[in-house]
């Protein structure tokens, strides 16, 4: 088949490791032709370009800043995406033909592009639902449910669902949520299509050398949080948990990431100067994976106010490198239930820091390596790209 993948993510080299690049490589390995449409945001200073990478055709379209931007430019840029993508597809891919157009959220404003592609190419459409917007913005106070913006985006969300022949959700709770809140959808169109990765060969590491490189202790377990530090992650609760743990000498906490809420954490660390907490703003992916492999536990945080079932993809590298997981989340997400029921970690609601402390104590009292092995096996059974590929192909 000829596959067209529409994304807001920055995919410029198919050699990169990512849930989307991994999946696109799996399509190529199975004999499909892949074309990826991705943005060149304004801050990059690049003109629209069409080129090839690792067997895929990539159309990078010049857009406004839509991720690292103020709210006004981000909003306008997101609204313009549909027109910009359609115009570029007409110009650069006019001689192409596609059997399947697949796309991920965010954003939800690509419904016009999907509709155009279905009409022009007669393609099937498959939504990889990674983000339930605008309700997630309502949950954390960024939108008001009775406001015009919410109503506008809710219409766009329903348009995207309705134009999609199939909707692949990250977990059982996501399927249940989508069908409950969109009863007009045929349940046969909605199913589980989880986040997934390709496992790469792992180099043999000297973990002490890795820890020394980043000034981390070599004589105690390290719990790692890696990823965005924004409103969805409930950074104030993360800070409260770290504050409860700041006098501990039996473990260390490493935070790797940045985001709009990062300054709150930086200010707290600067004020308190805890000895058992290290913050690194950015690591190249190769270094990040080495750090993951050298830690004992992975951390996942979500704001307790969420009513939508998020399922963060940062779980995957934890499982790949055989480290168990502590999830501090809302009660809507089923990530904590899946972690506990399958024996590779613990869950608490992200309200009371003492509950997080109990999860840490439980993990430190157990055989951490055996927990990590269970997580790796669960990854191999459920979250590899070949599984996701077969789910999509079996439906389209």
pLDDT tens-digit readout, 47-91: 999 999 999 999 999 999 887 667 788 778 888 888 999 999 999
* Distance separating alpha carbons of residues 38 and 335, to the nearest angstrom: 29
CATH 3.40.50.2000 fits 207-382, yes or no: yes
**pLDDT at position 75:** 78
The span from the CA of 257 to the CA of 280, in Å, is: 7
What's the confidence (pLDDT) of residue 68?
Answer: 67
List 49's β-bridge partners, or say none: 60
Give the per-residue pLDDT at 69: 66
23: pLDDT strictly greater than 70? yes
Quick check: 107 pLDDT over 80?
no
* 257 vs 281: CA distance, rounded Å: 5
* Rounded (10°) angle between helices 353-364 and 368-382: 100
Can you name the CATH fold of 2-193? Rossmann fold (3.40.50)
Q: Say what percent of the chain tops pLDDT 70.
A: 99
Distance CA 375, CA 342 (A): 8
- What are the start and end residues of each CATH 3.40.50.2000 domain in the chain? 2-193, 207-382
166 vs 71 pLDDT, higher one? 166
């Amino acid at each position: 088949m000829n596959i067209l993948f529409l994304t807001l993510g920055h995919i410029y080299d198919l050699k990169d490791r990512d849930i989307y690049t991994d999946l696109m490589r799996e399509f190529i390995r199975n004999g499909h032709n892949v074309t990826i449409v991705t943005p060149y945001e304004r801050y990059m200073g690049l003109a629209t370009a069409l080129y090839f990478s690792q067997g895929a055709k990539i159309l990078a379209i010049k857009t406004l800043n839509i991720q690292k931007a103020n709210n006004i430019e981000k909003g306008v840029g997101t609204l313009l995406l549909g027109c910009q993508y359609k115009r570029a597809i007409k110009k650069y891919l006019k001689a192409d033909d596609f059997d399947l157009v697949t796309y991920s959220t965010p954003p939800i404003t690509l419904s016009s592009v999907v509709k155009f592609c279905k009409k022009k190419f007669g393609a099937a459409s498959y939504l990889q639902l990674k983000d339930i917007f605008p309700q997630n913005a309502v949950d954390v106070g960024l939108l008001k449910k009775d406001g015009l913006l919410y109503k506008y985006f809710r219409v766009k969300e329903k348009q995207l669902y309705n134009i999609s022949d199939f909707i692949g959700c990250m977990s059982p709770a996501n399927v249940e949520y989508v069908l409950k809140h969109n009863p007009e959808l045929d349940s046969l169109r909605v199913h589980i299509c989880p986040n997934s990765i390709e496992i790469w060969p792992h180099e043999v590491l000297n973990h002490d050398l890795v820890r020394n490189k980043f000034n981390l202790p070599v004589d105690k377990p390290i719990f790692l949080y890696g990823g965005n530090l924004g409103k969805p992650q409930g950074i104030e609760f993360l800070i409260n948990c770290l504050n409860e743990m700041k006098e501990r000498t039996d473990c260390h906490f490493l935070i790797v990431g940045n985001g709009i809420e990062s300054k709150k954490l930086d200010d707290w660390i600067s004020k308190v100067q805890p000895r058992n907490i290290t913050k690194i703003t950015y690591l190249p992916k190769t270094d990040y994976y080495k750090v993951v492999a050298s830690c004992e536990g992975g951390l996942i945080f979500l704001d307790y106010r969420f009513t939508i079932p998020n399922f963060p993809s940062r779980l995957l590298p934890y499982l790949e490198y055989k480290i168990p997981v502590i999830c501090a989340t809302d009660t809507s997400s089923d990530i904590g239930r899946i972690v506990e029921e399958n024996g590779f970690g613990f869950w608490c609601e992200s309200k009371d820091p003492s509950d997080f402390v109990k999860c840490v104590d439980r993990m430190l009292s157990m055989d951490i390596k055996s927990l990590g092995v269970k997580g790796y096996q669960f990854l191999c059974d459920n979250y590899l790209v070949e599984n996701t590929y077969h789910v999509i192909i079996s439906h389209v």
